[in-house]
Structure 1
Amino acid sequence: MPADSLPTRPHVAVVGGGIAGLAAALEVLDAVPGAHVTVLEAGDRFGGKLRLEPVAGHRVDVGAESLLAVRPEAVDLARRAGLEEDDLVTPATTSAQVWSRGALHPLPTGTVMGVPTDPPAARGLLDDAEVARATDEQPWPGERVETDVSVGQYVGHRMGRAVVDRLVEPLLGGVYAGHADRLSLQATVPALWQRAVRGESLRTPPAARPPAPGGSAPRSPFAGIRGGVGRLPGLVEDELRTRGALLRTDAVVRVLERAGERWRLVVGSAAHPATVEADAVVLAVPATPAARLLAELAPLAARSLGQVETASMAVVTLAVRRDGLPDLPGSGFLVPPVDGHGVKAATFSFAKWGWVGALSPEVVHLRASLGRAGEEAALQRDDAELVTLAVAEVGEALGAPLPPVVDHHVQRWGGGLPQYAVGHLGRVAAVRSDLARLPGVEVAGAVYDGVGIPAVIASATRAARAVAEHVTSAAGVAATTIASEGESG
């Protein structure tokens, strides 16, 4: 068999260099060690919404700052990328408050996305009449839910509007930057959805967390990384380069098209385009660019992706003098939108994470989040105004002004969180069904299986394994064909 007839290494192109794209690239190399992998990132850096920036001379997270540890994907990826075991850390505290009706109230324990299993435990957040209404749980018409509904519609009908406004909205705002009356019960709170389709009470206590090894205390559901979760993309990037992957920044993919049995991507400006051909492609980009690239190839998928709205938000990180700091309860607080504040959450990073608290003897780091779906106008303020608002409202919640601000950082995440509106899982199913007609093209990211880091990595793993199977099967067919032709010759 002539040397130039031998099958070449399969080439997989990954569009998008956030944690989904990086995780997909690593999974492809694990599944097909001989593959050539190219990661094409439109921006000037990898990592997406996992990011570190210096504040008062110390690098801290300005995007996601914790991992849901009850799922294995993120922790496993960190270990595969070489993170030292001692650098996986647990929060010093996860005790959260809710700033409501002018005071801080402990978030009741045993809630499912804010829905209280013991409504009297929420007294303070709820007044006596609201506690009585939540206790008097009403049946859903027909007893069982048969089609997707919004979280607000379902919980409000069964336990009263105050439970939605004062308890559910702050938690949904923290996770999705969305609103309960638009977000899908099926997609965002599957535990409540399962109860709804079975016609069960919402007041069933959630399953207890497993005990930690060697003791009776429950495991924290969260984990962090010493030095910041923003280290994770860099670790994966380094591992990919070590294993021969090509990683390109400032590589805007403008076109995806067929090239015989392969795929062609047009990269760069209209004035200076370049082409990249690949045997398979993972689109690890948000809904809008994915829809644009799929518009001609998979119009049904593109149309479904085009229906996914996004929310913008900003994270204001503050370094303030340690001297004169008022007592800060727990890890931070959440804010219900019904009270009309600009800040939707605050995290006392120095209290939550031991490594952050140890950064400096003079200053402490904390942060505030602003912005929900449909409230983009609130983010039109300049950075100085956002900092002033964050300082004022955090101080108001604590009942005492914050000490002087030594340094600050404002990170804006425009369109950063996809909104899982009612019917979202149907839209995702439609996308994947339409893409089944495009062998070797898969999608990954926060749009599909959850917005948390483990869920995003899981979607990347799913996509990577599918393209790995595709290129392996194609290589096997090609080798068999060449061998048959050689024997017949």
Structure 2
Amino acid sequence: MTAPDKAAPDKTEQDTTEQDDVERTAVVVIGAGVAGLIVAERAAAAGLRVVVLDAADVPGGSVARHEVAGLDLDAGAESFATRSTAVADLARDLGLGGEIVAPDPAGAWIAHRDGTWPLPRAGLLGIPTDLDDVSLRAALGPDALDRARHDATDPVPAALTPGAPTPPSLGTVVRTRMGEQVLDRLVRPVVSGVHAADPDALDAQAVAPGLLAALEETGSLAAGVARLRSAAKAGSSVGSLRGGMHRLVDALVDRIEAQGGEVRLGHAVTGLHRDDDDWHVTTGAGGTAAPEGTARLRADRVVLAAGAGTAVPLLTGLFPSLADLPAPTGAPVTLATLVVRSDALDAHPRGTGVLVGEDVPGVEAKALTHATAKWAWLADAAAETAGPGVHVLRLSYGRPGENAARYADDARVLEAARRDATSLLGVELGEVLDSDVVRWPGALPAAGPGHAGRVARIRTAARGTGPGTGTLAVVGGWLAGNGLAAVVADSRAQAAQLFDKL
């Protein structure tokens, strides 16, 4: 199919002569998460009429906001990795470059069943780069530290290189190079908090792009991680936006609508097929904002930006070659936010928060973020809104394999959050001014070994199907990998392939 003629009204404007109330548009984006909004904004900027459809009642997916104690807070993603400039570049393009902030440099701690210690800072996903760092002695002990030093001299096996026939898991890489204790005491708590998955279930190359190549070239995991970190921009490994990451969603929606696009919420896509010339999209009832009945759209291009649970059935219906494609599932994540008044927390007893290993006695949470210690703008907002000594704590629940029903009751979750925060921070919390519970079922699907091959299969099928070649793209975190940095970079690259030459 040739590119649509942007000057032709029957391709870019709604065609009121279409039979059966079928609406014509140039581009349909299925999914109003960050990935879908990024691609939609690029389509609108190219002069194409774009309609974004999502079953939810609010845009942004897991980059969402909620109000607790009068504060606008992130209900999902609250930061982005700075190992690439992808998110910062997007923020600047949206006029938010001056709002990028770095966290407090104190850093986080790790709570393990054997003790609590500061997380070594010069690392990646808990993998240390400096084995002479004094903080490692407390975390590992002399025997485990001696084992980790073998990394500098042991040859790199072919199974841990980029060309390995079976892609290694992150857990296999760390265990082979540095030993079980580094994996258990440092890497597993970090990965559980960041990816809601066990390192043994994650493709090393997918969650740490370039790691295997750096390991092969330097001959050492520590040196390879150091190389990756040195290639990144100097400064903190994460950043955010003053006011919260949800501002990114607001800016994208505003830009789409200013350029003539539409974001339609409460529209669940129930069908997707194509004839020789067009894509046909059918919608039904979605969230509470959904209209009655169904709607049908015809489009020249479709971008499938929904989560795996929606996208995989649509893809397997379109492409028989993907019939065996499993739908990635992630651990259900429950976030409990507490706004408390506690002078004892003014000292920031555990820095910016705590990453929690498995089997810590009496603690269910897998991570705690002391948000007002981490972000100065939030501390200022909390003081202005609720007075001195007010702190925002966010605790995360839901480990791989856990039953989501365990955290189905809000009252039970908040009781556990208060108990866990007291234990992890080592102080009494004081008065709880307000609280909230947010659930993200399967929001962080694990990029298991072989992930890159599965992504290649999907995108090859989407690109190479007869008259519609080049008119279907598939984006989202379940393909790009967890984290805004990966999602933004991948979505912008896919959007460039679709629209930059129009």
Shift of 1:406: 1.2
1:303 alignment partner in structure 2: 324
Q: Does 1:410 align with 2:426?
A: no
Q: Work out whether 1:357 is the aligned partner of 2:373.
A: no
After superposition, residues 145-160 of structure 1 pair within 5 angstroms as 145=161, 146=164, 147-160=166-179
Question: Deviation at 1:449?
Answer: 2.1
Give the Cα separation in 2 of the matches to 1:398 and 1:420: 32
1:182 has 2:196 as partner: no
Hey, what does 2:137 align to over in structure 1? 123
Q: Spell out the pairing of 1:92-107 with structure 2 (5 A cutoff).
A: 92-93=104-105, 95-101=107-113, 103-107=115-119
CA-to-aligned-CA distance 1:202-223 (integer Å, 9 cap, x gap)? 12161465899xxxxx422322
For residue 228 of structure 1, what is the aligned residue in structure 2?
244
CA deviation profile, 1:78-121 (whole Å, cap 9, x unmatched)? 233333x4422222335111112353311113223222233453
Q: How far apart are residue 143 of structure 1 and its match?
A: 7.5
What amino acid does structure 1 have at the position aligned with 2:118? P
2:460 maps to amino acid: S
- Flag the 1:47–1:94 CA change in 2: closer, same or farther, 3 A: farther
Q: Which moved more, 1:425-434 or 1:385-394?
A: 385-394
Q: 1:338 to 1:123 in 2, by over 3 A?
A: farther
**Shift of residue 409, structure 1, vs aligned partner:** 1.0
What percent identity do the matched residue pairs reach? 34
* Native 8 Å contact 1:282 1:464 kept in 2: no
Residue 140 of structure 1 and its aligned partner are, at CA, apart by 5.2
Runs of 4+ in structure 1 over 6 Å off: 4-7
Residue 329 of structure 2 is aligned to residue 316 of structure 1? no
Q: Does 1:380 align with 2:407?
A: yes
Closer, same or farther: CA 282–367 of 1 in aligned 2, 3 Å:
same
With over 3 angstroms needed to count, the CA separation of the structure-2 counterparts of 1:144 and 1:152, relative to structure 1, is closer
For residues 248 and 116 of structure 1, do their structure 2 counterparts lie closer, same or farther at Cα, with a shift above 3 Å needed? same
Please report how far the alpha carbon of residue 411 of structure 1 lies from its aligned counterpart in structure 2 after TM superposition. Answer: 0.9
Tell me which residue corresponds to 2:16.
none
Identify the residue that residue 276 of structure 1 maps to in structure 2. 297
Q: Report the Cα offset of residue 155 of structure 1.
A: 1.6
- Alignment match, 1:485: none
1:124 aligned counterpart, secondary structure: helix
Q: Structure 1 regions of 5+ residues with no counterpart?
A: 213-217, 473-489
Contact 1:312 1:414 in 2 (8 A): yes
SS of the residue 1:397 aligns to: helix
In structure 2, distance between residues paired with 1:191 and 1:8:
42
User: Does structure 2 retain, via aligned residues, the 8 Å contact 1:93–1:351?
Assistant: no
CA distance 1:310–1:210, shift in 2 (3 Å): closer
What are the residue-to-residue correspondences of 1:327-406 with 2, within 5 Å?
Answer: 327-328=347-348, 329-339=350-360, 341-359=363-381, 360=383, 361-362=387-388, 363-377=390-404, 379-406=406-433
For 1:66, the equivalent position in structure 2 comes to 79
Between the aligned partners of 2:142 and 2:104, the Cα distance in structure 1 is 33
List per-residue Cα deviations over 1:26-55 (Å, max 9, x = no partner): 11122x22x110000111111111111111
| TM-score (ref. length: structure 2) | 0.85
Give the Cα separation in 1 of the matches to 2:9 and 2:258.
Answer: 26
Does residue 310 of structure 2 align to residue 289 of structure 1?
yes
What is the Cα deviation at residue 66 of structure 1? 1.1
Equivalenced residue count is 459
* TM-score, normalised relative to structure 1: 0.87
Q: Are residues 100 and 385 of structure 1, via their aligned partners in 2, closer, same or farther at CA, if it must alter by over 3 Å?
A: same
Q: Could you tell me whether the CA contact under 8 Å between 1:310 and 1:415 is conserved in 2?
A: yes
User: How far is the alpha carbon of 1:290 from its aligned partner?
Assistant: 0.8
For structure 1, which segment, 373-382 or 431-440, has the greater mean C-alpha deviation from structure 2 after superposition? 373-382
Give the structure 2 partner of residue 443 of structure 1. Answer: 474
Q: Which string of whole-angstrom CA distances, capped at 9 and with x for unpartnered residues, describes residues 54-74 of structure 1?
A: 111111112111122342222
* Cα displacement (A) at 1:385: 1.3
- Cα-to-partner distance string for 1:216-239 (whole Å, 9 max, x where unaligned): xx4223222111111211111111
**SS of structure 1 residue aligned to 2:401:** coil
Aligned mates of 2:159, 2:261 — CA distance in 1? 54
The alignment status of 1:467 with 2:498, answered yes or no, reads yes
Among 183, 188, 209, which residue is 1:164 paired with? 183
Q: In the aligned structure 2, how far is the partner of 1:331 from the partner of 1:106?
A: 10
Indicate the residue corresponding to 2:68 in structure 1.
Answer: 55
Distance 1:302 1:312, change over 3 A: farther
